[in-house]
């Protein structure tokens, strides 16, 4: 076996694609993390929400009734004990105060390295679900402005959590936003939405820190964390990747893992990420799918590296969900802007471009790559806004977003 592995090492020498670029990505990522961690505690909403058992119990009590669909949530709320409602209401003022803080800088121990799904993240997700559940309840009781406020607060919480951290943390934040977003869209599409509510909703939606382009930052941090993990396994010695006389059988004292082998795997990982990064930067789901990152089988593993296949996330799937969220957020901005235009002008805008620059800085699109625009049609005093994309159906949602006013 040792002869086979040594022969493989001699045949497939690992040549770095662009080590300078790798170091630039690492340096930029570290600076970004340090800037996030350096935020003043007075500006950090997370400081108001320590992940202690009391806080977790308070929000988990109501979050269990967020069933993923509106109908299921309504049925669950009707059966919720009054004590659970009381717990949720008691914690609401503190939660809303925290969300109004400029940022949510997650402590390092909340990230849990690669997983990013520690108790702190679970607590935040429970809080977002609580906001949604109480919002649905208030909407049912006719308090639609209060419901709108809570749906927007859930979006703000998820967006601030997802504005930093590795990919997994950001995708957990997406799950905080995606469910209440449907109820938010329904309220914004209402023909009875007051101007004050529409204006406040548009302001808060425009101020959300999350952008489509942030996906690259999350992937860069995921990449850097992976390199750190490999270096730790290898005893922080990535230099011996093609060292003369190196052998996979020269194992390290800790765990019997070869630093030489891990150094080669690290190089494979760097090369693999640089191959993927242009598609990630351009948010090209089709290209990511074509790259089909996880190497399967012994031969591909030998050629491309085993750890890259094991540690590399499902980028195409994550990117699809990410782009779907931002398409729906842009639909929400359009609905609020159209409503304000109608209230100000007494008629629907003739085209979406009429919303610029008074209501929107630019007309958003469903998907920047491939470029897919929202379809808008005015008929008399009515309008129809349609967003069609395979992104929606790929995430289990309806392929078309349709908003129509008679």
Q: How does residue 291 score in pLDDT terms, banded at 50, 70 and 90?
A: confident
Long-range Cβ contacts of 383-390 (<8 Å, 24+ apart): 383/338, 383/348, 383/349, 385/331, 385/334, 385/335, 385/338, 387/327, 387/328, 387/331, 389/324, 389/327
Phi, psi (deg, nearest 5) at residue 110? -75, -25
Question: Mean pLDDT highest for which of 14-18, 69-73, 172-176, 378-382?
Answer: 172-176
Cα–Cα dist 230/401, whole Å: 43
pLDDT of residue 251: 39
Instruction: Answer for the pair 349, 378: CB distance below 8 angstroms, yes or no.
Output: yes
Using the predicted structure, report yes or no on whether residue 119 has a pLDDT greater than 50: yes
Q: Which two tokens stand for residue 247?
A: 């052998």
Better-predicted residue by pLDDT, 109 or 154: 154
Q: How does residue 241 score in pLDDT terms, banded at 50, 70 and 90?
A: very low
pLDDT of residue 156: 94
Using the predicted structure, report yes or no on whether residue 220 has a pLDDT greater than 70: yes
Domain boundaries, given as residue ranges, for the chain: 2-18+217-317, 39-188
pLDDT of residue 10: 47
pLDDT of residue 344: 93
Nearest CA to 392 out of 285, 292, 315 is that of 285
pTM attached to this predicted model? 0.83
What separation, in Å, do the N-terminal and C-terminal C-alpha atoms of the chain show?
74
Tens-digit pLDDT profile for residues 245-270: 443 333 344 445 667 777 888 888 88
Using the predicted structure, report yes or no on whether residue 405 has a pLDDT greater than 70: no
pLDDT of residue 169: 83
Using the predicted structure, report yes or no on whether residue 150 has a pLDDT greater than 80: yes
């Amino acid at each position: 076996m040792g002869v086979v592995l040594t022969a493989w090492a001699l045949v497939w020498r690992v040549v770095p694609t662009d080590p300078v670029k790798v170091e630039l990505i690492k340096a930029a990522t570290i600076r970004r993390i340090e800037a996030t961690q350096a935020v003043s505690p007075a500006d950090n909403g997370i400081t108001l929400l320590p992940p202690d058992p009391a806080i977790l119990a308070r929000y988990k009590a109501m979050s269990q009734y967020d069933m993923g669909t509106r109908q299921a949530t309504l049925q669950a709320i009707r059966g919720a004990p009054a004590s659970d409602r009381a717990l949720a209401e008691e914690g609401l003022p503190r939660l809303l105060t925290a969300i109004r803080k400029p940022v949510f800088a997650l402590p390092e121990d909340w990230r849990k390295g690669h997983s990013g799904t520690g108790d702190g993240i679970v607590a935040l997700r429970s809080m977002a679900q609580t906001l949604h559940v109480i919002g649905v309840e208030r909407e049912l009781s006719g308090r639609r402005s209060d419901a709108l406020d809570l749906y927007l607060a859930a979006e703000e919480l998820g967006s601030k959590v997802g504005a930093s951290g590795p990919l997994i943390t950001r995708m957990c934040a997406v799950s905080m936003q995606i469910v209440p977003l449907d109820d938010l869209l329904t309220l914004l599409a209402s023909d009875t939405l007051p101007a004050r509510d529409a204006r406040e909703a548009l302001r808060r939606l425009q101020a959300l820190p999350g952008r489509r382009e942030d996906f690259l930052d999350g992937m860069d941090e995921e990449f850097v964390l992976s390199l750190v993990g490999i270096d730790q396994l290898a005893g922080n010695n990535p230099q011996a990747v093609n060292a003369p006389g190196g052998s996979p059988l020269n194992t390290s004292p800790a765990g019997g893992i070869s630093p030489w082998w891990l150094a080669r795997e690290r190089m494979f990982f760097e090369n693999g990420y640089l191959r993927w990064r242009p598609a990630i930067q351009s948010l090209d789901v089709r290209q990511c799918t074509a790259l089909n990152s996880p190497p399967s089988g012994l031969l591909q593993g030998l050629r491309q590296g085993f750890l890259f296949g094991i540690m590399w996330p499902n980028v195409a799937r994550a990117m699809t969900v990410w782009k779907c969220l931002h398409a729906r957020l842009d639909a929400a901005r359009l609905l609020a802007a159209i409503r304000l235009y109608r209230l100000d002008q007494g008629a629907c805008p003739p085209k979406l471009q009429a919303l610029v620059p008074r209501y929107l800085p630019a007309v958003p699109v469903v998907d920047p790559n491939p470029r897919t625009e929202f379809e808008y049609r005015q008929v008399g005093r009515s309008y129809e806004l349609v967003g069609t994309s395979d992104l929606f159906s790929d995430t289990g949602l309806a392929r078309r977003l349709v908003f129509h006013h008679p």
